[in-house]
């Protein structure tokens, strides 16, 4: 064993100060402080033999293992053996270069800079996090771990089915690797057996095994030879657009979702028979101008084209999109990105960028369906009155949502389905009532910040389906008032066939949901489907029993005693009722 740095026991604050704040920069999220206490601090280079953690414990005076929460090496770390840290403590920080046989991570936090690992880097499913600079290693195995590893030339194995851009993915692992290193039942690598074989210098891949990208390229060649019209290359780890596709002018469907191709070639416009193009989550920042040459295109999906950290790259649509005279469906979901805000913003809601559609969007005279979930869209004036639009989805979530009701959609005269769930509106304007052909409306989980009464939805004569959930997708925002339920059941909705009112429960006795909050539901005489999940109700109003056409009632997550269940079942003997 060789060692050139002497261990010191420091507090986290003292260690952070010695490193001019490098620890807090590495281990503390914005607005959060570290919970590390004691630090084993090596000021300089450290070289040890055997298992890293065993060697470090042997160096410590007293030999205790339980009280060190973070190991810090300010210089280079060289380990003639594995670094295997699976418990939640200690974590590891290395300021210089790290070299070891393996780097294996579990529950703890590990922050390294550049390095080299002889056999592999492995992130095991758990609550830890692994961050590195540029490292050299032949294999990176991801078992659903929080990994930010830059392994140039390393082959990635997705050992769980959730990693992005892997070279070997489930279930192809069984076909690619020798049976000695595969758990055939779970269709994933046996990492211990895999590592034993690497240490023995034995092959782990079957002869002729191909990466996902190599397999995709072979599929493209085969598809070209067979004159295939529909080509789906989802999640094949393609780093660039497969050029051979441009030699398939007969192609009608091209799906490249989940490949980090970065950009589309200008020659894409030569695929003039293409009807369906999907480039979801491909790391694009724009579409080529030639997109307008795809005169047969009916479906275009560009959703999710932003950096994986969600806050740096913004995608734009070119004006050429207005030349897509056959376009019927456009998916621009998850294109808003985070915007820096001052701490203490209202309700602690993050700001998101607005996605500005080009003026040429108004030329899409055949557009029938627009999906813009998680995207705060700015519609140009030219979009107002688009007559073909029948369906719009602009749902939100905990991070990306709308703050302002998108009134532009109410100018679409033939709008039939509108999903605005999961947003944070302060008002639902009366302009919604212009949508006289609207059949399905979802305002679920979007009512918590409303200041004004709802417009009278009874003035939507075609309304058949209504979502009215009472949840909030962020803990910092208030839940909607029960007054909105009273407003709803005072409306005349004679055509309503399906009603979803879930998660209006309250934890306090004073605000507990009661049966009388649903009084009036019996006036909706055409109701066939009712979803009242997770309201913690102990009863329903008597007029619920009078609904003549009830066919399905989802009452899961309530507190109905046996007598109430029996009464509801007897009142609706032919209905499918789920209490459990």
Determine, yes or no, domain membership for 391.
yes
478-503 average pLDDT score? 93
* pLDDT, tens only, 157-214: 998 876 567 888 877 899 899 999 999 888 899 999 999 999 999 999 999 998 888 8
Domain count, the chain: 4
Q: Which residue in 561, 485, 548 sits closest to 520, CA to CA?
A: 485
* pLDDT, tens only, 55-95: 998 887 655 555 789 999 999 999 999 999 999 999 999 99
Q: What is the pLDDT of residue 504?
A: 86
CATH number of residue 307's parent domain: 3.80.10.10
Determine, yes or no, domain membership for 201.
no
Tell me: do 501 and 414 sit in the same domain.
Answer: no
3-state secondary structure of 282: coil
Containing structural domain, residue 387: 328-480
The pLDDT confidence band at residue 1, using thresholds 50, 70 and 90, is: very low
Choose one of 480, 506, 521: the last residue of a domain. 480
Choose one of 454, 480, 506: the last residue of a domain. 480
Tell me: do 351 and 221 sit in the same domain.
Answer: no
Tell me: do 356 and 380 sit in the same domain.
Answer: yes
Q: Select the highest-mean-pLDDT range: 33-47, 392-406, 516-530.
A: 516-530
Tell me: do 446 and 497 sit in the same domain.
Answer: no
Tell me: do 474 and 498 sit in the same domain.
Answer: no
Tell me: do 542 and 563 sit in the same domain.
Answer: yes
Tell me: do 262 and 381 sit in the same domain.
Answer: no
Give the residue, 481 or 413, on which the prediction is more confident: 413
Other Cβ atoms within 10 Å of 326 Cβ, number? 14
The torsion region of residue 323 among left (phi > 0), alpha (psi -120 to 50) and beta comes to alpha
Q: What is the pLDDT of residue 472?
A: 84
What is the C-alpha separation between 137 and 151, in angstroms, rounded? 7
Judge whether residue 30 has pLDDT over 70: no
Tell me: do 16 and 165 sit in the same domain.
Answer: yes
Tell me: do 288 and 341 sit in the same domain.
Answer: no
Determine, yes or no, domain membership for 128.
yes
Q: What is the pLDDT of residue 510?
A: 60
Q: What is the pLDDT of residue 31?
A: 52
| DSSP category for residue 448 | T
Answer whether the bond into residue 90 is a cis peptide, omega within 30°.
yes
Determine, yes or no, domain membership for 151.
yes
Q: What is the pLDDT of residue 489?
A: 96
Judge whether residue 237 has pLDDT over 90: no
The pLDDT confidence band at residue 324, using thresholds 50, 70 and 90, is: very high
β partners of residue 104? 84, 122
Determine, yes or no, domain membership for 305.
yes
Determine, yes or no, domain membership for 84.
yes
Q: Which residue in 136, 140, 105 sits closest to 123, CA to CA?
A: 105
3-state secondary structure of 115: strand
3-state secondary structure of 518: helix
Tell me: do 388 and 304 sit in the same domain.
Answer: no
> Considering the chain, what is the average pLDDT of its residues?
91
Question: 0.85 cut: is pTM over it?
Answer: no
Tell me: do 333 and 460 sit in the same domain.
Answer: yes
Apex 469 CA angle, 468 and 474, nearest 5: 135
148-159 average pLDDT score? 90
Determine, yes or no, domain membership for 253.
yes
Tell me: do 513 and 463 sit in the same domain.
Answer: no
Determine, yes or no, domain membership for 1.
no
């Amino acid at each position: 064993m060789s060692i050139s740095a002497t261990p010191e026991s420091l507090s986290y604050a003292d260690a952070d100060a010695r490193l001019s704040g490098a620890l807090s920069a590495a281990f503390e999220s914005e607005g959060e402080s570290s919970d590390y206490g004691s630090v084993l601090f090596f000021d300089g280079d450290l070289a040890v033999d055997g298992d890293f953690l065993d060697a470090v414990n042997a160096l410590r005076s007293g030999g205790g293992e339980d009280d060190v929460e973070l190991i810090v090496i300010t210089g280079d770390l060289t380990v003639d053996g594995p670094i295997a840290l699976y418990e939640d403590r200690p974590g590891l920080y290395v300021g210089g270069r790290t070299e070891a046989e393996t780097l294996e991570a579990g529950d703890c936090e590990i922050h390294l800079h550049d390095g080299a690992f002889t056999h592999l880097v492995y992130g095991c499913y758990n609550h830890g996090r692994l961050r590195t600079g540029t490292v050299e290693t032949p294999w990176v195995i991801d078992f659903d771990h929080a990994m930010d590893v830059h392994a140039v030339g390393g082959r990635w194995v997705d050992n769980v089915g959730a990693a992005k851009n892997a070279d070997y993915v489930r279930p192809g692992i069984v076909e690619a690797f020798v049976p000695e290193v595969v758990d055939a039942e779970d269709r994933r690598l046996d990492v211990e057996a895999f590592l034993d074989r690497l240490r023995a210098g034995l092959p782990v891949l079957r002869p002729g095994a191909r990466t996902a990208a190599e397999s995709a390229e072979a599929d493209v060649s085969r598809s070209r030879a067979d004159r295939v019209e529909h080509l789906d290359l989802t999640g094949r780890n393609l780093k660039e657009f497969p050029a051979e596709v441009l030699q398939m002018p007969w192609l009608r469907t091209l799906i490249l979702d989940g490949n980090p191709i970065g950009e589309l070639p200008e020659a894409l416009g030569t695929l003039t028979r293409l009807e369906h193009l999907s480039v979801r989550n491909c790391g694009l920042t724009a579409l080529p101008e030639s997109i307008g040459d795809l005169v047969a295109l009916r479906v275009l999906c560009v959703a999710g084209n932003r950096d994986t950290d969600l806050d740096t790259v913004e995608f734009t649509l070119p004006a050429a999109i207005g030349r897509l005279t056959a376009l019927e469906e456009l998916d621009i979901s998850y294109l808003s990105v985070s915007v820096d805000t001052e701490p203490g913003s209202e309700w602690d809601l993050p700001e998101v960028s607005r996605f500005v559609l080009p003026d040429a969007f108004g030329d899409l005279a055949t557009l029938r369906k627009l999906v813009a979930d998680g995207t705060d869209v700015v519609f140009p004036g030219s979009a107002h009155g688009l007559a073909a639009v029948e369906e719009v989805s602009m749902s939100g979530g905990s991070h990306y949502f709308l703050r302002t009701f998108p009134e532009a959609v109410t100018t679409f005269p033939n709008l039939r389905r509108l999903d605005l769930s999961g947003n944070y509106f302060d008002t639902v304007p009366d302009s919604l009532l212009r949508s006289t052909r609207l059949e399905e409306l979802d305002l679920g989980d979007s009512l918590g910040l409303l200041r004004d009464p709802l417009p009278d939805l009874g003035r939507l004569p075609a309304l058949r389906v209504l979502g009215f959930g009472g949840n909030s997708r962020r803990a910092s925002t208030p839940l909607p008032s029960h007054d909105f339920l009273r407003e709803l059941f005072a409306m005349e909705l004679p055509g309503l066939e399906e009603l979803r009112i879930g998660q209006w429960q309250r934890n306090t006795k004073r605000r507990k949901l009661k049966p009388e909050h649903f009084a009036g539901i019996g006036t909706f005489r055409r109701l066939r489907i009712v979803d009242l999940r997770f309201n913690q109700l102990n009863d329903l109003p008597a007029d619920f029993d009078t609904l003549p056409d009830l066919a399905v009632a989802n009452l899961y997550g309530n507190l109905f005693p046996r007598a109430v269940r029996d009464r509801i079942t007897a009142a609706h003997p032919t209905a499918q009722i789920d209490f459990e």
